[in-house]
Every structure is written in C-alpha cells, then in structure tokens.
Amino acid sequence: MRLRIQRYALLLASAACGSSTGPSGPVVGVTIQDFSFSPAALTVKMGTTVKWTNQGPSAHTATSNTGTWDSRQLNSPTSGGAYGGGSAGGTYQYTFTAAGTYAYHCSIHPPSVYPGFTGTITVTP
C-alpha cells in the first residue's frame, strides 16, 4: 500500500510540472494565449515532443517558418455558457528528431502584423 501511495505521489508531482513523458520521450508544453507563445523560446533534447495548447480567445496555429510542421487551426476553448459542457482549446504535438533551431509563428496572425507572435525551439543532441 505504501509503495502504491509513493507511486501516486510521484505521478502527481510529474503532472504538476510543465513536462511529462510520452511514448517516444519527454513532452514539453507551450501555451498560446493573448497573441503570444509561452515560453517563446524553448530548448529541448532530440526526441522531445512539444505540445502547443491554445488557451486564448481566438483561433491560432503553430506553424514552422520552413514548413517542417503546421498545426493547422487550433480552436480556442469554450466555456459552454451557463450549462457547462465547454471544450478545451485545440492542441498540436510535434516530436523533434533532429538538432537545430526551429522558428515558428501563427499563420492566422502573421509576424508582419503581430511582430511578437513568434517562437523558437532549439533542439540539442
């Protein structure tokens, strides 16, 4: 019983962090909200999956500047009104398998109009 409680506590502690482990390696989260990515700059190891989650009031994308990935439209969360039943914001995941620096933006709100709405992922070996 004690071992089961310790495992549960470890599971809760890891869930409280900004990252977790998926089937192919660690998963790190990026939040999209208020025309920004948070964190805007991220460094991860090869094999890490980055998961973008839209938590803002508008639809957004996470689109590689070089076409490496494109989340397509990630809808905003809905509250469901007085009756509940809302939905979470859209998510997208991409696993980085090669070292390098990857710049990205929201294709719905391009950097020419929203200059701070960009991000970079630096992948190390």
The DSSP code for 112 is T
Q: What share of the chain is helix, strand, coil (3-state, %, to 5)?
A: 15, 40, 45
Check whether 11 has a pLDDT greater than 60: no
Reported CATH class of domain 18-124:
mainly beta
- Digit-coded pLDDT (tens) for 43-78: 999 999 999 999 999 999 999 999 999 999 999 998
Check whether 12 has a pLDDT greater than 90: no
pLDDT at 15: 36
Q: Which helix (H) or strand (E) holds 10?
A: helix 2-16
Domain positions in the chain: 18-124
pLDDT at 79: 75
Give the confidence band of 24 by pLDDT, cuts at 50, 70, 90: low
Give the confidence band of 41 by pLDDT, cuts at 50, 70, 90: very high
Check whether 83 has a pLDDT greater than 90: no
Q: Cα separation of 121 and 42, whole Å?
A: 5
